[in-house]
């Protein structure tokens, strides 16, 4: 592929990583499926991580929690299993509205080899259909930040009913409003059967089968795709729906895969694109020529870099990504400008040295690094905001750009004399 000729070798780093673990995805997954509960089997650290990453605590009783392992659980697995059954029993008795229970593995539960699949089986048998129990791992020794979603979704795949019916399956959580909007746009193009995974109700699972074509809303769902492919689904190659260009190409790829009338598709997309570009224009003026450094965090870095360069005119200093999935990035990488320096993995101290040396105008980074970088004089944008905000789709392109323009605007606004 063209990639190797235009992009310099990827900088591979293996030092300290400053990235959350996969447990973090519970923060958006539990909101997506309000009838599900996420029970982490882990330590006090795991509980504290989710609480701190969530940042706000507004729920009466959140739909996630941690079964904190104690010394006794470590002493004997038999007891640990018994204890887990007890905790789950108490939880389900207290929260009868739960329809799906995700048992989420953590580093400690993985290291002591607590078999959560067996536990799920056991509890399923006992609950006799009152609730469905599935399991996956969000541990930090195996998953980063957004990858947690790619653990959760495959755990649902075996439960999907089979159907050969032609359908478009959108894979990866989108904000509710954005999702509704894309469904209505697809309908206007003539594509009626479009379903999301994860669904909004954990029990309203979409079917899957040879008629299913997958369109990825998020770039971190590789395992989910593989699991769905094993059930006969096929992935539609497309860039990710960030920015006008990405979103149009994303919808167009789906339309083409279903052989929709190109005329009709263009009638829907063209005015959208035109409007989206118009909305972007003032933001482009703000961002144009500004130098951007993306630290590895959400796995959205490559599509974001593509958008911010091609549609907002930003210069890319370095594009970090927790891991580089060439297959899922195949449509994105060729859109990056020649010479873009990609880095995979992290050695945070060295990377910060590169930030200091290159003096970018804007740094995209995790919450632990933002204020220290601001104090060193760099404008920053938290990557976690990108997974919590509605940023996908043509209509959101300007909002997305605005997220990056705001820190720059703010610096211009503030005066001290």
Partner 1 sequence: MELTLWTYEGPPHVGAMRIAASMEGVHYVLHAPQGDTYADLLFTMIERRDRRPPVTYTTFQARDLGGDTAELVKRSIQQAVDRFQPEALLVGESCTAELIQDQPGSLAGGMGLGLPVVSLELPAYSKKENWGAAETFYQLCRGLLRNQVPAPGADKPGPERWRAEGRRPRVNLLGPTLLGFRCRDDMRELRGLLADHGIDVNVVAPLGARPSDLMRLPQADANLCLYPEVAGPLCSWLERNFGTPVVRTVPIGIGATAQFLRELCSLLGLDPPELREADRRSRLPWYSKSVDSTYLTGKRVFIFADATHAIAAARIASRELGFTVVGLGSYSREQAREVRAAAKELGLEALISDDYLEVEQAMAQAAPELVLGTQMERHSAKRLGIPCAVISAPLHVQDVPARYAPQMGWEGANVIFDSWVHPLMMGLEEHLIGMFRHDFEFVDGHLSHLEGASAPTKQPVGDQPNEAPEVTPLSATPEGGALRWTASGEAELSRIPFFVRGKVRRNTEAYASERGVSEITEETLYEAKAHFSR
Residue ranges binding ligand SF4 (CB under 6 A): 21, 23, 42-43, 45-46, 49, 56-57, 106-108, 139-140
CB of 410 to ligand SF4, least distance (A): 20
Residues 99, 105, 108, 109: is their CA dihedral positive or negative?
positive
Write phi, then psi, for 56 (nearest 5 degrees).
-105, 145
For the record, the structure tokens of 239 come out as 């860039």
Give the nearer residue to partner 1 in terms of CB position, either 142 or 315.
Answer: 142
Rounded-to-integer distance, Cα 251 and Cα 240, Å: 10
Give the nearer residue to ligand SF4 in terms of CB position, either 246 or 296.
Answer: 296
Q: Is 218 exposed, middle or buried (0-12, 13-18, 19+ CB in 10 A)?
A: buried
CB of 416 to partner 1, least distance (A): 15
Query: C-alpha dihedral over 272, 277, 283, 288, to 10 degrees?
Result: 150
Give the nearer residue to ligand SF4 in terms of CB position, either 51 or 234.
Answer: 51
Q: Is 192 exposed, middle or buried (0-12, 13-18, 19+ CB in 10 A)?
A: exposed
- Residue, CB closest to ligand SF4: 140
CB of 62 to ligand SF4, least distance (A): 12
CB of 21 to partner 1, least distance (A): 3
CB of 16 to ligand SF4, least distance (A): 13
Q: Which does 68 bind (CB under 5 to 8 A by kind): partner 1, ligand SF4, none?
A: partner 1
CB of 136 to partner 1, least distance (A): 15
310: CB partners within 8 A, 6+ apart: 243, 245, 335, 337
Rounded-to-integer distance, Cα 286 and Cα 313, Å: 9
For the record, the structure tokens of 200 come out as 């909004």
Q: Which does 170 bind (CB under 5 to 8 A by kind): partner 1, ligand SF4, none?
A: none
CB of 390 to partner 1, least distance (A): 12
Give the nearer residue to ligand SF4 in terms of CB position, either 23 or 398.
Answer: 23
Q: In this structure, how many other beta carbons lie within 10 angstroms of the beta carbon of residue 9? A: 8
Q: Which does 11 bind (CB under 5 to 8 A by kind): ligand SF4, partner 1, none?
A: none
Q: Which does 171 bind (CB under 5 to 8 A by kind): ligand SF4, partner 1, none?
A: none
Give the nearer residue to ligand SF4 in terms of CB position, either 24 or 224.
Answer: 24
Q: Which does 135 bind (CB under 5 to 8 A by kind): partner 1, ligand SF4, none?
A: none
Give the nearer residue to ligand SF4 in terms of CB position, either 49 or 228.
Answer: 49
Q: How many residues does the chain have?
A: 417
For residue 279, the surrounding DSSP H or E stretch is helix 262-287
Longest dimension (CA), the chain: 70
């Amino acid at each position: 592929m063209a990639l190797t000729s235009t992009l310099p070798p990827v900088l591979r780093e293996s030092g300290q990583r400053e990235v959350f673990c996969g447990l973090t995805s519970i923060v958006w997954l539990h909101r997506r499926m309000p009838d599900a509960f996420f029970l982490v089997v882990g330590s006090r650290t795991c509980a504290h991580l989710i609480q701190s990453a969530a940042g706000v605590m507004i729920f009466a009783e959140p739909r996630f929690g941690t079964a904190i392992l104690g010394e006794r659980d470590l002493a004997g697995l038999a007891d640990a299993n018994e204890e887990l059954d007890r905790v789950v029993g108490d939880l389900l008795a207290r929260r009868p509205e739960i329809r799906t229970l995700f048992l989420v593995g953590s580093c400690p539960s993985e290291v002591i080899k607590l078999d959560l699949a067996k536990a799920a089986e056991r509890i399923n048998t006992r609950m006799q259909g009152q609730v469905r129990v599935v399991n996956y791992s969000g541990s930090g020794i195996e998953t980063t930040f957004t990858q947690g979603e790619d653990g959760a979704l495959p755990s649902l795949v075996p439960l999907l009913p089979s159907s050969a019916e032609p359908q478009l399956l959108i894979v990866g959580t989108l904000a509710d409003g954005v999702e509704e909007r894309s469904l209505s746009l697809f309908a206007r193009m003539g594509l009626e059967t479009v379903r999301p995974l994860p669904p909004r109700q954990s029990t309203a699972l979409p079917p899957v089968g040879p008629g299913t074509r997958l369109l990825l809303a998020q770039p971190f769902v590789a395992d989910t795709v593989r699991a769905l492919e094993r059930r006969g689904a096929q992935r539609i190659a497309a860039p990710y729906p960030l920015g006008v260009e990405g979103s149009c190409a994303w919808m167009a790829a789906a339309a083409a895969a279903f052989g929709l009338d190109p005329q009709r598709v263009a009638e829907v997309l063209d005015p959208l694109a035109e409007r989206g570009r118009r909305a972007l224009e003032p933001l482009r003026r703000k961002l144009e020529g500004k130098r951007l450094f993306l630290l590895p965090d959400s796995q959205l870095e490559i599509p974001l870099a593509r958008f911010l360069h091609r549609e907002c005119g930003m210069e890319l200093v370095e594009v970090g990504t927790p891991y580089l999935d060439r297959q899922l990035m195949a449509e994105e990488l060729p859109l990056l400008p020649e010479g873009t320096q990609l880095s995979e993995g992290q050695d945070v101290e060295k990377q910060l040295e590169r930030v200091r040396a290159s003096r970018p105008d804007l740094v995209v980074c995790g919450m632990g690094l933002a204020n220290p970088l601001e104090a060193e004089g760099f404008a920053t944008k938290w990557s976690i905001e990108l997974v919590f905000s509605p940023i996908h789709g043509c209509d959101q392109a300007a909002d997305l750009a605005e997220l990056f323009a705001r820190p720059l605007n703010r610096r211009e606004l503030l005066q001290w004399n």
